[in-house]
Amino acid sequence: MDNRLILASSSAYRKQLLQKVCPTFDCINPDIDESPKHGETPEQLVLRLAEQKALAGQTLFPKHLIIGSDQVCCINGEIVGKPGNHQNAVAQLKAASGQAITFYTGLALYNSDTQQMQSLVDTFEVGFRELSDNLIEHYLNVEQPYNCAGSFKSEGAGIVLFKHLRGDDPNTLIGLPLIKLCRLLESQGFRLLA
C-alpha cells in the first residue's frame, strides 16, 4: 500500500510519537463521544473508542490506513481523566502517592480500502513514590501537566515522582503503543520510516 496514513487524533503527543516512525501522515479530529458506557471496563472503553476514532475518517479517506488510539489512567480501579487545573492535579497526585497505577491504551488500525480493523489494548504500570505535598506543588509548578491523564509527563520532569515504570513500550505511557503499531502497519504492507 502507498504511504497514505491518517492519524485520527487531535493529540499533539500522539502526533509527535507517530513522527518517530512515519514522517508523512495527515491528522483528523475524530470528534466522537468519549463517554464511558454503563458497566464498561477500562479495557473495553479504550478499545471501543480507538476503533470509533479509526472509523471516523473512513468516508473522507477511502483508501487509507487510519490509526485510532485512546487512553485512560486508573488509580485504585477508578478511571481518572486529565486534571484540567492545578487543584485537580494535586488531588490526582495525592491519590497516586505510594500506589501503582495503570494506563490502558487502545490502538486500532483500520484499512478503509479492505474494511479490515485490527485493534488491541496495551497496558503500562507506573509505581509512584510516597509524594510529599511540597514535591507535588513543586512538580506541578515546574511542568503544569494539566492536559495529561494522571497529572504528569513521564518524558519530562515527572520522572522524579516514580518508583518504577513497567511496560513493553514507553511510548504506550505517552499515548501511542509504537512497537505494536509498527507490527500492525507492516502487516498492511506499510513501509515504516518512508
Active site residue 113: no
CA distances from 19 to 58, 175, 188, 194 (A): 22, 13, 18, 11
Q: Is there a contact between 188 and 109 (Cβ–Cβ < 8 Å)? A: yes
Among 26, 70, 122, 168, which one carries the catalytic annotation? 70
Phi, psi values for residue 100, rounded to 5°: -105, 125
As given in the structure block, the three cell numbers for residue 19 are: 513522527
Residues recognised as catalytic? 70
